[in-house]
Structure 1
């Protein structure tokens, strides 16, 4: 039996790749996300503005059909959110019905529309619903004879299946193009890896994707043994016309499509699983479901809202410069502290009591999952994590023990104890990203060059990727235990990813981090992703599955917002080096950070790294006061 192909599948949509990646996860198939496409507003804003007038006059004879999560945001940008929502409210009062394809689209609509919207899984089902059920209802209304009107705002290059099906059924269809999709202006980083055969396949979801692949790579730029997979006949036909050797998949729904991809790649029906808990596994009593925590400034900002004040917290062992922290830990080792539930809970709570921050970060360390799995590891004062036996061969990886569920009981108890004292302050769960943890495993301890890690990645990529998978499983179990016990958000911390090129990150690190983030994303809690020295990786790290991107000191927030297209919540980024300087310099930096943070959808203030051990607690308290006093008013 052939060994499974561990090379990742390349996903190139402009957005929405996470659903395909999550479906591939269930078959043990790794994926890399590097968009070859971009969406942008149409040059002509009039169709979006026309919709405002149409909605104001619409009544029970009309339906509004939204088929993409991208549509409403582009409508708001062109027509204005307030006029659009007022017109929609008027239309709803006059009997307009709203339809959306899929949960993802529904979640992007304003609350009033989403509450009244009816859904169908795809265009074919929507045509059947509107033609067979809704149209007869409209024709039966006691009103003068009018044409039933279907209003379809959406893409300039939308597929014809929906409008043609509705016209054939008897609707008058009005299409309003508000955005379009085309190739991104710069060459994607993954083009080089694709040519070298670093990917098992590239998945094309649209004709636009096929054209982008042909533009950036072409038939000759796709490595031997790399399949080109087309989702559906239209996409596949376009790919063939462009000279691409495409394998046509008949399904487009993510779960069914992933099963087809698995068959093409020869992947087993069962593979690496992420645990299976859905968001409703948290239950109504989970802290994130309580009104106080759900409406806390931290969680509101993480959802992209603008709370009354900008939230602020300090990452990692946030209280380690406090005298009460040193007193509590006197004579107790780092890992021992993390695995003592009452002590870990106390150390989690100390920064909240002292500073009044808007979230608690769970007191832990990235080595804790390794310790719980039974590996010989210690944190040596003045040195850092040290492993008894480095992991550098296939046999070493094969010998790694899985993390037993019962070993996580001290983590669960510590989280429960902390949450019981936090009230409406959310707890953030914490883990080290797979690449960083794997680097420590390979090096056996801290390293300035990561020589052994880079050697294993390049000479034995299959072995290195299996090691990353092992860490991803341990990370997922570790974070799941925290979330199920009461954490309302998580942060994945990647200390060493900044040492990688973007190409290596996409092929090796992103697939593993993505599996962790997607597994936790199923709970519905916000996911923060942070790494040091990762300016060149910011988009790729976001695309791994982050809701909030932490920004280190190597980028301004304004530049980070530009790189992420202005659509991602930012966290950061006060340089910890400023904490030992004059307060005037801190205040000036905070003013710039708060100003630039207003450019993003929302902003959470934090340091650009962890709290230094010698930080003055009064300085940290001052930072919290400045941020809270500044409020969250948007600049001009």
Structure 2
């Protein structure tokens, strides 16, 4: 098996820089669209054979050095006794947002093997067929809480912050349940065979550092502590739009810190200290000409040279409009240029 990704996560020297992309299995691929055209998004997530198929697609097509489980961060929230729907153009919708103690009390902390067996079966299928490591994942508690409180996506997160500031006990009660669910869910993924885990904190960048320290970080630390007690696989924490939080995210306990494109990779390496680093080219930079894209990749590889370990990735998920050939160019360039260094 190609374990270059795992070596980089652990800070070991590698023959070349490993690369994978967030949302690498997705709508930019005609092969994915063919599968997706037959089922709804949730059906795809809950059908192990199909989820494994689309997880494989970018590995087989482009030679990424790691696969990431095809699923969604809100799957375990649905298992907490919530009504989840995905609407084209609107994204995920929770029909009954959690905004009072009764709503929190009605949430359950599910047994992931009983309520989400399809996720564990997908992992087992992939482990039997992949020749690269498999990354499992979950949303970080704060990001998950925003969806439950807002009822979906938001621009200003008024309801979330209002609960934090005006009803902190209610907020922390909700976070405790989400954290318990997420911890159990990730532990189940480890038992099923995941070889690394990533926590996505997609919306945490809306918080001021002092609020992140009080309302988000302790829950990430709790989950990582639980995982450390039962596994030594690499743990990745990605705080999107979180460059102002880096001094705090270094205390989360993860092996690898992921960065978005708003921070130069050399600066990310410096701030990350004794952590491996993952990131962080702008996803839309994949639309550059081949010469300019390769020049940018070369520059990033040089800037990241002093990292304890470096995994090349996008600064966020790949966009559906991305030409697949551009992905091939980027992956090939990372492999070729880093091997020459």
Q: Same fold (TM over 0.5)?
A: yes
After superposition, the C-alpha distances for 1:541-575 in whole angstroms (9 at most, x for unaligned) are: 2211110011101101111122223x211101111
Q: Please tell me whether the aligned partners of residues 257 and 272 of structure 2 are also in contact (alpha carbons under 8 angstroms).
A: no
Displacement of 1:627 after TM fit?
0.8
After superposition, the C-alpha distances for 1:142-173 in whole angstroms (9 at most, x for unaligned) are: xxxxxxxxxxxxxxxxxxxxxxxxxxxxxxxx
- In the alignment, the residues of structure 2 paired with residue 504 and residue 300 of structure 1 have an alpha-carbon distance, to the nearest angstrom, of 34
- Residues 542 and 335 (structure 1 numbering): CA distance in 2 closer, same or farther, change over 3 Å? farther
- In the alignment, the residues of structure 1 paired with residue 27 and residue 138 of structure 2 have an alpha-carbon distance, to the nearest angstrom, of 18
- Matched residue of 1:553: which SS? coil
Q: Please tell me whether the aligned partners of residues 428 and 489 of structure 1 are also in contact (alpha carbons under 8 angstroms).
A: yes
Q: Which residue of 562, 565, 586 corresponds with 2:270? A: 562
Q: Which has the larger radius of gyration?
A: 1
2:181 is the alignment partner of 1:474:
yes
2:160 is the alignment partner of 1:453:
yes
- In the alignment, the residues of structure 2 paired with residue 457 and residue 594 of structure 1 have an alpha-carbon distance, to the nearest angstrom, of 40
After superposition, the C-alpha distances for 1:593-623 in whole angstroms (9 at most, x for unaligned) are: 1111112111000001011111111110111
Displacement of 1:382 after TM fit?
1.2
Q: Please tell me whether the aligned partners of residues 529 and 549 of structure 1 are also in contact (alpha carbons under 8 angstroms).
A: yes
Q: Please tell me whether the aligned partners of residues 373 and 404 of structure 1 are also in contact (alpha carbons under 8 angstroms).
A: no
- In the alignment, the residues of structure 2 paired with residue 617 and residue 317 of structure 1 have an alpha-carbon distance, to the nearest angstrom, of 10
Q: CA RMSD in A?
A: 1.4
Provide TM-score, normalisation by structure 1: 0.52
2:316 is the alignment partner of 1:609:
yes
Aligned to 1:251: none
After superposition, the C-alpha distances for 1:455-505 in whole angstroms (9 at most, x for unaligned) are: 000011111111111111121122122211111001100110000001000
Q: Please tell me whether the aligned partners of residues 48 and 119 of structure 2 are also in contact (alpha carbons under 8 angstroms).
A: yes
Displacement of 1:316 after TM fit?
3.0
Q: Please tell me whether the aligned partners of residues 25 and 32 of structure 2 are also in contact (alpha carbons under 8 angstroms).
A: no
Provide TM-score, normalisation by structure 2: 0.96
2:137 is the alignment partner of 1:430:
yes
Aligned to 1:379: 86
Aligned to 2:204: 497
- In the alignment, the residues of structure 1 paired with residue 14 and residue 288 of structure 2 have an alpha-carbon distance, to the nearest angstrom, of 30
2:220 is the alignment partner of 1:513:
yes
Matches within 5 A, 1:36-55: none
Aligned residues: 339
Aligned to 2:326: 619
Aligned to 2:243: 535
Q: Which residue of 238, 244, 254 corresponds with 1:546? A: 254
Q: Please tell me whether the aligned partners of residues 340 and 410 of structure 1 are also in contact (alpha carbons under 8 angstroms).
A: yes
Q: Please tell me whether the aligned partners of residues 286 and 330 of structure 2 are also in contact (alpha carbons under 8 angstroms).
A: no
- Residues 476 and 317 (structure 1 numbering): CA distance in 2 closer, same or farther, change over 3 Å? farther
- Matched residue of 1:572: which SS? strand
Q: After TM superposition, which residue ranges in structure 1, 4 or more long, deviate above 4 angstroms?
A: none
- Matched residue of 1:511: which SS? helix
Contiguous gaps of at least 5 residues in structure 2: none
- In the alignment, the residues of structure 2 paired with residue 521 and residue 379 of structure 1 have an alpha-carbon distance, to the nearest angstrom, of 33
- In the alignment, the residues of structure 2 paired with residue 632 and residue 550 of structure 1 have an alpha-carbon distance, to the nearest angstrom, of 22
2:69 is the alignment partner of 1:367:
no
After superposition, the C-alpha distances for 1:39-92 in whole angstroms (9 at most, x for unaligned) are: xxxxxxxxxxxxxxxxxxxxxxxxxxxxxxxxxxxxxxxxxxxxxxxxxxxxxx
- Matched residue of 1:299: which SS? helix
Aligned to 2:40: 333
Q: Please tell me whether the aligned partners of residues 137 and 200 of structure 2 are also in contact (alpha carbons under 8 angstroms).
A: yes
Aligned to 1:211: none
Aligned to 2:115: 407
Q: Please tell me whether the aligned partners of residues 81 and 106 of structure 2 are also in contact (alpha carbons under 8 angstroms).
A: no
After superposition, the C-alpha distances for 1:309-340 in whole angstroms (9 at most, x for unaligned) are: 11000113534311110001114222221111
Q: Please tell me whether the aligned partners of residues 373 and 407 of structure 1 are also in contact (alpha carbons under 8 angstroms).
A: no
- Matched residue of 1:366: which SS? coil
Matches within 5 A, 1:312-327: 312-327=19-34
Q: Please tell me whether the aligned partners of residues 5 and 133 of structure 2 are also in contact (alpha carbons under 8 angstroms).
A: yes
2:261 is the alignment partner of 1:575:
no
Matches within 5 A, 1:93-492: 292=1, 296-405=3-112, 406-423=114-131, 425-492=132-199
Q: Please tell me whether the aligned partners of residues 307 and 632 of structure 1 are also in contact (alpha carbons under 8 angstroms).
A: no
After superposition, the C-alpha distances for 1:267-313 in whole angstroms (9 at most, x for unaligned) are: xxxxxxxxxxxxxxxxxxxxxxxxx46xx100000000111111000
Aligned to 1:598: 305
- Residues 633 and 461 (structure 1 numbering): CA distance in 2 closer, same or farther, change over 3 Å? farther
- Matched residue of 2:236: which SS? strand
Contiguous gaps of at least 5 residues in structure 1: 1-291
Displacement of 1:585 after TM fit?
2.4
- Residues 317 and 452 (structure 1 numbering): CA distance in 2 closer, same or farther, change over 3 Å? farther
Displacement of 1:401 after TM fit?
1.6
Q: Please tell me whether the aligned partners of residues 319 and 350 of structure 1 are also in contact (alpha carbons under 8 angstroms).
A: no
